[in-house]
Structure 1
Amino acid sequence: MKNQLDHIVILDDDPEICNLLQEYLEKNGLRATTVNNGKALWRMLDEKHIDLIVLDLMLPGEDGLELCRNLRARLNIPILILSALGEETDRIIGLEMGADDYLAKPFNPRELLARIKVILRRSRTLPGRDEIETVSQLVFANWTLDLTTRHLISPAKVVIPLSGGEFRLLRVFLEHPKRVLTRDQLLELSQGREAQAFDRSIDVLVGRLRRHLGENAREPRLIQTARGAGYILAADVQNLK
């Protein structure tokens, strides 16, 4: 039973923002730590348990998107991106790098807190122990989704780490095989009604899943596009204990 406060690490080079967010999050029942560069963040990840990273993209002398990509490749910790770049293209790039959510500056700390709580709630409820009972793996077309590690395993037994959003979406497809799902249905099933998503987030995640699966973008075999309707997983699925 977990009895410690959720630990949030804030990476931002602005001391004023760091202090404000740390104080606000701690007043609202979270443990918050601040760092001002990527090296400090990696050191903390080696030393402490962290439940979520709030990552500012605009870091002097560092590429925040590259840092996000490296974090996602090595770890399964949820990442919420902060950035003064609020255009939809920048949000899409953030998701493509593996972020679980994206919040543009300036923002209300209450919205940041709400998004953090949604992400933490999703990460705690997955991989869905109550719903899947003893099922630990979902197998489709010789691929395997491990519900314990949240990794995708290729037919050649190569382990592919997934972001939180990728894992949730693929699991939804595998739980509803050979059925057309609209974007709204996919958003609701994978992120919940509280999710602060934008219209193209599902398309971005589908594109990332297709790349993981080695799909031809023009003629995908597994996650197919139902034009004007949504997407469909065109494969049988086997549940393994």
Structure 2
Amino acid sequence: MKYDCLIVDDEIELAEATCEYFQVFGITAACVKTSAECLDFLKENQVKVILLDINLENESGFTLCKQLREQMEIPILFISARQSDDDILIALNIGGDDYIKKPYSLSVLLAKVKVILKRFDGFEGKKSATEAIVVDDDARKIYVEGQEVALKNKEYNLFSYLYHNRNKVISKEELFEKIWGDEFFSDGTLNVHIRKIREKIERNPNEPKYIKTVWGIGYMMEL
């Protein structure tokens, strides 16, 4: 099954109440109590965002977050009664996307979840949060493995054109025509823009995963 939100919290009454509140506003939600239940749930179901408590009976939400980050790039929002800056920094540094302190306002929590869901569901043709690249042409934003990447105007135009023609080889001539038009350009101009984009989106720009060079012809975004 597909769910908008999974809550991982051993305060089960609070988790169930949060699920019920979300569902009133059209957000499908489920809840589990332990790390093991969370991992089992994710084997059988698809989820767009996870709300994760730090204290899970005798377990740590930090450990679970690290496990999840090894498998997927789904947004994770920590929800915890722990208030220290150290806990917040740990949560964010190990892959958490936000940190909400308990007791939380249901309306504020709902608003934060809606922002995450809108980011991945609010425009035509984009991919889900579990997929590698999302392009929002209306807002001129891109998300790579769940993280927003800032591109300059020409970089965005070039990236977007490759994305919307993904898995097709695009010649340099076509890129010059579509992106630069009548402006002065050279192979060096295109190569520099491709290199800058790779530095921002690739884990190893020297061995690109997404934007591949097709020698003697041009480039291809491979997804």
Alignment TM-score > 0.5, same fold: yes
Among 130, 140, 151, the residue aligned to 2:137: 130
Q: Where does residue 15 of structure 1 map in the other structure?
A: 12
Gaps of 5+ in 2: 127-133, 155-199, 205-217
1:41 to 35, 38, 42: 38
Equivalent residue for 2:93, pick from 92, 96, 101: 96
Pairwise CA distance, 1:113: 0.2
Q: Which residue of 2 aligns with 1:74?
A: 71
Is the 1:8–1:50 Cα contact (8 Å) retained in structure 2? yes
- Matched length: 152
Q: What is the DSSP-based 3-state SS (H/G/I as helix, E as strand, rest coil) of the residue aligned with 2:56?
A: coil
Equivalent residue number for residue 180 of structure 1 = none
Q: Tell me, yes or no, if the aligned pair for 2:3 and 2:46 is still in contact at 8 Å.
A: no
For the pair 1:175 / 2:152, whether they are aligned, the reply is yes
Other-structure match for 1:86: 83
| CA spacing shift, 1:46–1:90, aligned 2, 3 Å | same
Structure 1 segments (4+ residues) deviating >6 Å: none
Give the distance between the partners of 2:31 and 2:21, measured in 1 at CA. Answer: 13
Distance 1:5 1:73, change over 3 A: closer
Tell me the CA shift for residue 130 of structure 1: 2.5
> Structure 1 CA distance, aligned partners of 2:219 and 2:101?
40
Query: Which amino acid letter does the alignment assign opposite residue 65 of structure 2?
Result: C
In structure 1, which of residues 21, 24, 32 is the aligned counterpart of residue 21 of structure 2? 24
Instruction: Specify the SS of the correspondent of 2:66.
Output: helix
- Kindly provide the CA deviation profile for residues 135-164 of structure 1, in whole angstroms up to 9, marking residues without a partner as x: xxxxxxxxxxxx78x3xxxxxxxxxxx5x3
Deviation of residue 239 (structure 1)? 8.1
Q: Alpha-carbon deviation of 1:131? A: 6.2
Q: Counterpart of 1:16 in structure 2: which amino acid?
A: E
Cα distance change of structure 1 residues 41 and 5 upon mapping to structure 2, 3 Å threshold: closer
> d(CA) in 1 for partners of 2:31 and 2:45?
13
Tell me the C-alpha RMSD between the 2 structures. 3.2
Q: 1:121 aligns with which of 118, 127, 137?
A: 118
State the Cα distance separating 1:37 from its structure 2 match.
0.4
Q: Could you say what secondary structure the match of 1:95 adopts?
A: helix
Q: Which has the larger radius of gyration?
A: 2
CA distance, structure 1, for counterparts of residue 76 and residue 6 of structure 2: 10
The percent identity for this pair of structures is 31
Partners of 1:57 and 1:175 lie apart in 2 by 37
Contact persistence 2:77–2:96 (CA under 8 A): yes
